Structure 1
Amino acid sequence: MASGDALEKKMVDKQSSEKTSIHVPNPHLEKMKEDVLYHFALGTGTHDLPALFGDVKFVCVGGSPSRMKAFITYIAEELEIGSPGSDYPNICAGTDRYAMYKAGPVLSVSHGMGIPSIAIMLHELIKLLYHSKCANVTIVRIGTSGGIGLEPGSVVITKQSVDAAFKPQFEQVILGKSVFRNTDLDEQLAEDLMECSKEIDEFSTVIGNTMCTLDFYEGQARLDGAICSYTEEEKQQYLKAAFKAGVRNIEMESSVFAAMCNLSGIKGAVVCVTLLNRLEGDQITTPHDVLNEYQKRPQKLVGHLIKKHLVKK
């Protein structure tokens, strides 16, 4: 097993040698004596952020704290960081809002469910990377989703996030006015991930649009919520229209993720496994052990990408 010092020498960043710093489009930050990252229980006045996080090159985010701890354990083994069975403490243990884990140049952070939750996390994550003087950072959201026209277990790499009307935009209401932001994701990063899937050759992977909704039930045309005002036929018409518009999966975080990555100049990707084909049903009845294997697929794909970029052969 490589030692920590030897590992640092072994790891190289194969991205562009040109330094790409984090862009934070907020002039007010420069006037603040201290920036408290409240939901992380971190801050510029209480922590040496460059010392703690300055080496970060990849950040993976996902909804569940347990899933993100599983990911950091997996990637640490892939990168030969630490010893087998090492535990990675929650850096944000001072709060119960989010969980954060670190192994070498990889950060793993939970974001909860839905646009509001991930947006709060991203504001503080982007500021964390900025204050830490990080450069050439790639952020990937890994998670689960409902597929449209795909076999369960398929992995979707998002080309662009679209709203419930299939428009590639994220609407942010600021001072009472709607501001629409771009939701394209880094095309080259998506192609790199697709190439990684071909190299792994263990599961079906596609590049497609991802529909981001504000709700799990009515917003995703489910028939099994507490409230439903449409028919099975209307549901099918809507989902088929989504498929025709290039949508291959549905989740609840990709639009604000894409918008904030674009505004901050950060390479971003969304990689989600599909747990069911929504054209065939609404409820997830797949056995737990099968679902657990499905959920590991985005981890394997993104882990392969990270290893290719960080480990010198």
Structure 2
Amino acid sequence: MAPILLNSMGNEHNGYIEQEKVYVKNPHLDSMEEDILYHFNLSTKTHNLPEMFGDIKFVCVGGSANRMKAFAQFIHQELNLQGNVDDIRDICEGTDRYSMYKVGPVLSISHGMGVPSISIMLHELIKLLDHARCRDVNLFRIGTSGGVGLAPGTVVITDKAVDSFFRPQFEQVVLGKVIVRSTELDEELARDLLQCSAEIPNLPTVIGNTMCTHDFYEGQGRLDGALCSFSTEEKLEYLRKAHEAGVRNIEMESTVFAAMCRVCNLKAAVLCVTLLNRFEGDQISTPHDVLVEYQHRPQRLVSHFIKKRLGYLS
């Protein structure tokens, strides 16, 4: 059966672009008396979502709950907000699936590892932003990745999120049919972020394609998993083909993130730091303190962008 191609910047957007708001693409929600955002432990009946989240302008998501708490504390300090950073609470503390922290107009949320985990989070996040009547929201995925021909510590701003065949698309099976959505991200936002990176010392940054896989080991061509069905030469040949296709890093969430944000009229960007060059190995041997500094680089870049947008920087 041929896949169904949904170009989310085509007719799907008619009647919505002028609203400049987050919108969901599910007519069934209109007939629901209550929408329970189960994995956030939030609900339209038990929580005043516009009051809680209506001022959100920036959403930053990342895999690790601890890292997203640290980012919330970091952005709190960067924006010189009142209160103690240690008092920032997890809005989703009633569940152990995700963690969420609100700091002024910034929302920081963990999404776990892999496409299924971030997909669940995004469904509920997008509904949350819609219920809260948020407008002009920018979404950022900040995380770590394996570099393809790049030195460790390089931040990659994703041009296009591609699948394991280097195609800029995300495939979702719906009712036995393959739905294909575009994974192109906002070009202007990527350029603005690259410009911001040039204003920050010691922050090597490039724009390139990001390959999203469904597995950390065999799916990414690693030789160190419990299973391996290929040779070193085959691995390197695949990485060379990826590099020739413009791929500069590999992770496990970018395609669904790009596709869902694109459909729902959200300006989005993916910024992942490389922890190693996959041409040189599969395991990370960099000292812990250096890795911590690497992982902070996408946070520094997004923070700089947010402060410029809010007028903190000239």
Once the two structures are TM-superposed, the CA of residue 312 in structure 1 deviates from its matched residue by: 4.8
Structure-2 residue corresponding to 1:94: 94
Structure-2 residue corresponding to 1:131: 131
Give the conservation status (yes or no) of the 8 Å contact 2:92–2:99: yes
In 2, Cα distance between equivalents of 1:306 and 1:249 = 24
In 2, Cα distance between equivalents of 1:247 and 1:81 = 39
Structure-2 residue corresponding to 1:6: none
Matches within 5 A, 1:1-313: 20-83=20-83, 85-312=85-312
In 1, Cα distance between equivalents of 2:20 and 2:92 = 27
In 2, Cα distance between equivalents of 1:214 and 1:87 = 36
SS at match of 1:230: coil
What is the number of residues matched between the two proteins? 296
Give the conservation status (yes or no) of the 8 Å contact 1:19–1:136: no
**CA displacement, residues 73-120 of structure 1 (integer Å, 9 cap, x when unaligned):** 111111111245442100000100000000110000000000000000
Q: TM-score, normalised by structure 1?
A: 0.93
Tell me the amino acid that sits aligned with residue 155 of structure 1: V
Structure 2: give runs of 5+ residues left out of the alignment.
1-17
In 2, Cα distance between equivalents of 1:200 and 1:19 = 34
Give the conservation status (yes or no) of the 8 Å contact 2:122–2:257: yes
Tell me the amino acid that sits aligned with residue 154 of structure 1: T
**CA displacement, residues 201-248 of structure 1 (integer Å, 9 cap, x when unaligned):** 322100000000000000000000000010000000000100000000
**CA displacement, residues 4-47 of structure 1 (integer Å, 9 cap, x when unaligned):** xxxxxxxxxxxxxx751112110000010000000000010110
Give the conservation status (yes or no) of the 8 Å contact 2:76–2:85: no
Q: TM-score, normalised by structure 2?
A: 0.93
**CA displacement, residues 138-189 of structure 1 (integer Å, 9 cap, x when unaligned):** 0000000000000000000000100001011000000011111000000000
In 2, Cα distance between equivalents of 1:85 and 1:184 = 36
SS at match of 1:184: coil
Tell me the amino acid that sits aligned with residue 72 of structure 2: I
Tell me the amino acid that sits aligned with residue 140 of structure 2: V
In 2, Cα distance between equivalents of 1:251 and 1:162 = 10
Tell me the amino acid that sits aligned with residue 106 of structure 1: V
Distance 1:294 1:312, change over 3 A: closer
**What is the root-mean-square deviation of aligned Cα atoms in Å?**
1.0
Distance 1:48 1:304, change over 3 A: same
SS at match of 1:199: coil
In 2, Cα distance between equivalents of 1:166 and 1:267 = 22
Give the conservation status (yes or no) of the 8 Å contact 1:197–1:301: yes
In 1, Cα distance between equivalents of 2:45 and 2:199 = 45
SS at match of 1:200: coil
SS at match of 2:198: helix
In 2, Cα distance between equivalents of 1:85 and 1:220 = 38
Give the conservation status (yes or no) of the 8 Å contact 1:163–1:211: yes
